[in-house]
Chain A
Amino acid sequence: MSGRVIVITSGKGGVGKTTTNANIGTALARAGKKVVMIDTDLGLRNLDLLLGLENRIVYTIVDVVEERCKLKQALVKDKKNPNLCLLAAAQTRDKSAVTEEQLKDICEKLKKDFDFILVDCPAGIEQGFQNAVAGASEAIVVTTPEMSAVRDADRIIGLLEAKEEIKSYKLLLNRVRPNLIKSNDMMSVDDVVEILSADLIGIIPEDTGIITSTNKGEPIVNDEKSLAGKAYNNVARRIIGEDVPFLNLEEPQGVMAKIKKFFSGLTGKEK
């Protein structure tokens, strides 16, 4: 087996890297793939929380590097899906505790046993980013339709293009709000794609379900009804190589939206 190493990065913090990682990882595992996620955000780990695995961590990536345990011992199995593992970051150390070479080495070893190695990258473009990218050959750049996130994504894309090991990168547009786009208060998907001139791998709508799913430590892809969950599932299918059309986010979803539509339809005020 020779797994694909995909780094999930963004430059800017808070755009949904870790959420994206948890959901794509879970979705790939649900599709029957063997997946391991590496949290490289040393000192600020969170992937464990989103997966609800925070109480199961015994060893971290730093323990592996400093040879206090074997690589396999440090892999935490997911509660539900035996195909899914997490290699957690150390919470008490900083980015210098692991080097680019060491991360590359860990990725190489994991490639033998897993179909997908998803690397959760810290925010920023410093050493933490360099480490996370070191072992990867593909990248997913997460951004939102906000100026600061798009600008940082552009910077990240520039850095990725300069890296020989990165063979391809794709754009994932997160926290899209169709209503705001409709009222011209948010840049559209096309706007962002045009500005960054990058290939799109997913459009994820803003979804309050993400908050509750994070609260529970349960990725939203497990929720069949969630639109964001569906969108993440589609991203996973595209990664596997399926040709999946992008979700139509234009149609209002949910009961409130339907009521709204009904009323505005009555008065003909609907734009």
Chain B
Amino acid sequence: MILANLYNKVLGFFRQTEKEAEESSKDTARNRLRVVLMQDRTNLTPELMERMRKELVELLSKYVEMDKEALELNLEQDGEQVALMLSIPVIRAKDEDEIKAALEADEKEEESSEDEEDEEEETETGSEDDEDLDDNSEDKDNSEEKSEDSDEVKDSDKKE
């Protein structure tokens, strides 16, 4: 009985130390591995990811006031599909005037008729919850790209 007691004490000790580590160790490994494999597979280095993150902060700040440090940009794998996951903690939805001001400042630099459409969409989403904001800001991302594309086209036209 004494032996059994001792055994249990020893066992209990090991269990305790095991439990302290158990939350993280395996999950940490899996998550770190996922990230590093994504980088290996996509050729997106941590530097490039950081650059992409900064550019997104800059872009999205026009529409919402967010926690710039906490914006998370991750590559994730869903089966065969690789996805870019963007998580933006929104501090406050900007009001109409602020967004307009930000966009107008932008327009001075680059003339684009599509920016007005963006503006309208944005005021609609202002009242909705954060997740929707995220989604929409990703949409914005796309439309921004489109407008940039069209700018390029215009530029080349001018050159010709």
Q: Is chain B's interface secondary structure helix, strand, loop, or mixed overall?
A: helix
**A260-B11 contact, Cβ under 8 Å, with A147-B29, A197-B80:** yes
**Contact assessment for A184 and B4 in the assembled complex, using a CB-CB cutoff below 8 Å:** no
- Flag B103-119 by CB within 8 Å of A: 1 or 0 each: 00000000000000000
**Contact assessment for B37 and A185 in the assembled complex, using a CB-CB cutoff below 8 Å:** no
Determine whether B149 belongs to the interface, using a CB cutoff of 8 Å to chain A. Answer: no
Q: Which of A148-168 contact B (CB under 8 A)?
A: 150-151, 154-155, 158
Query: In whole Å, how far is B77's beta carbon from the nearest beta carbon of chain A?
Result: 8
Determine whether A225 belongs to the interface, using a CB cutoff of 8 Å to chain B. Answer: no
Query: In whole Å, how far is A262's beta carbon from the nearest beta carbon of chain B?
Result: 10
Closest chain B residue to A271, Cβ basis: B15
**A147-B33 contact, Cβ under 8 Å, with A154-B40, A184-B22, A197-B79:** yes
| Interface size of B in residues (CB-CB distance below 8 Å) | 25
**Contact assessment for A187 and B29 in the assembled complex, using a CB-CB cutoff below 8 Å:** yes
Determine whether B51 belongs to the interface, using a CB cutoff of 8 Å to chain A. Answer: no
CA distance in complex: A188, B22 (Å): 13
CA distance in complex: A181, B25 (Å): 10
- Flag B1-43 by CB within 8 Å of A: 1 or 0 each: 0001001100110010011011101110110111011001100
For the A-B complex with A151-B33, A154-B41, A269-B8 known, give 18 more contacts whose Cβ atoms are closer than 8 Å.
A147-B29, A147-B33, A150-B33, A151-B37, A154-B37, A154-B40, A155-B40, A181-B26, A183-B18, A185-B21, A185-B22, A187-B29, A187-B30, A191-B30, A195-B34, A195-B37, A269-B11, A269-B15
